[in-house]
A and B are shown apart, each in its own frame.
Chain A
Amino acid sequence: MLRLPELDFLSPSTIEEALQMLADDPSGTRVLAGGTDLVPNLKRRHQHARRLVSLGRLASLRGVSGDPAHGLRVGAMTTLRSILKNEVLEQHWPGLIAAVRSISSPVLQSMGTIGGNLCLDTRCTYYNQTEEWRSAIGYCMKEAGDTCWVAPSSSRCWAIAASDAAPLLCAIGARVRLASTRGERELAVEALLCDDGIAYLSKAPDEVLTDVLLPPAGTWKATYWKLRRRGSIDFPVLGVGTALRVGKNGVVEDVRIFLGAVASAPVRALAAESILQGHILDETTLVSAGKAAQEVATALDNTDFTMTWRRQMIPHYVAGTLRELADLPRVGLLGADGLEC
């Protein structure tokens, strides 16, 4: 059986206690939320911990609260399954529900948390492997090696952001609250995630992501489309989170498009957005926006499918989200999560 390394397990009953435990040994301690990412990573020895601090007993980090009109707060330890069952979220943020529903499979959704999905380690088929496998390639830059085998001459790591929630939360401008013994701070999800395969989070090791803060309901109409091989289990090989605000005259007042799984953090498709800003959202405009979105992606050979094809898919998926949000008829059979026939 592939097992975890020996470690200490701590289960604080207050957030203060948890933060103190992290402050005591920030480099050797990891925060355990649902465990669906951290546990396999520890088993394969590409993430390491002497101690785990479980947030499992911290009821205060669970649940959805607040007034939708002023912005809901989703506790970081809220499981994906309870988000899917939350009627307030369903009513005000169907796009978030779509993104969460696309995460892995039902069994993992009852373990995985929204905070955990945002802090997901970046992924790469040279990295998400056992110790034995990685020793056979002389390891890689992200863990114990020097070379990024995705691009051997590169000085950076190209592991990809694999969160489904992140592109959507970036698009709607959601924020997160981080806490440590040093105090609390708030920052945009966009600022939490860094385009670096190794330093992919701006969260310090002693900080705990405690809350996800949604903007006031009604500010955006948003959706998420995901490309993956199978209808379940799989991480995205492309995810598109799009948030749109259209004026009464049908003109795009504001739009934010983030692509997941094509870089080490969700990438904002600015060129696509500027094509849409101030224009009527018709088929021609959204097709050119889709094409423009392709330019920001650096799809590389480190996940399922070929990189060229994944890049080719970007216009289809970006255009798909825009058609859905603009209530335009679907072109082809492509839906939010694969073919819909």
Chain B
Amino acid sequence: MSRMRTDTFTVNGERREVAYPAHHTLLEVLREELALTGTKHGCDLGECGTCTVLVNGEPILACLAMAADMAGKSIETVEGLATGPVLHPLQRCFADMGAAQCGYCTPGMLMSAKALLAENAAPSEDEVRSALAGNLCRCTGYQQIVEAVRAAGSELKTQGCGAKGAASHG
């Protein structure tokens, strides 16, 4: 049957040894081998942005990344955003400002937004739109997402864990 590999993945700061078929993408390893179903998938072909996760702080699409290429790298998923029961400012702003409707694109949006805020804690509206342009949403029309990302940015900034602080979590 499938050719299996065993590798160690660091997901949300936790090191996990995983045996998995060599042809699996990071998406399959996250959702199926690690049961981290917070990362969703909308096309499996790199066309919609739904499965965005962070690898070494950069947003990538889990459906296009060979899992074997990701071994040893620092992977961050939506499950790693909150600190225990305390929501990340992005999560709080998304929740309160209508940025999640059906919620299916939300994990990917959050991860793209986190990468943006790590570089630029006070993005303009245009900067948010450009940085998130690879993440499709069919519900919101995007406006409330833009507002939530910017609000989270200012919250992070006033908390004194702006660009630098956010990056250090990566």
Contacts and interface: CB of A to CB of B under 8 A. Distances in A.
Do A and B come into direct contact in the complex, CB within 8 Å?
A: yes
A82 to B, nearest CB: 9
Given A3-B23, A8-B22, A106 B45 contact: no
Contacts of A104: 134
Q: How large is the interface on A (under 10, 10 to 19, 20 to 34, 35 or more residues)?
A: 20 to 34
A191 interface: no
Contact of B52 (A5, A39, A56, A107): A107
Contacts of A39: 25, 46, 63-66
Contact of A9 (B23, B46, B49, B60): B23
Contact of A40 (B2, B5, B46, B60): B46
A34 B52 CA distance: 15
- Interface SS majority for chain B: loop
Given A1-B44, A106-B134, A107-B112, A54 B68 contact: yes
> Secondary structure at chain A's binding surface: helix, strand, loop or mixed?
loop
A35 B64 contact: yes
B41 to A, nearest CB: 7
A52 interface: yes
Given A107-B134, A108-B46, A231-B133, A5 B23 contact: yes
Given A110-B58, A232-B130, 20 more contacts: A1-B41, A6-B3, A6-B22, A32-B69, A39-B64, A43-B44, A52-B66, A54-B69, A56-B69, A105-B133, A105-B135, A106-B59, A106-B130, A106-B131, A106-B134, A107-B60, A107-B134, A107-B135, A233-B133, A233-B136
Interface of A: 1-9, 11, 32, 34-36, 39-40, 43-44, 52, 54, 56, 81, 104-108, 110-111, 231-233
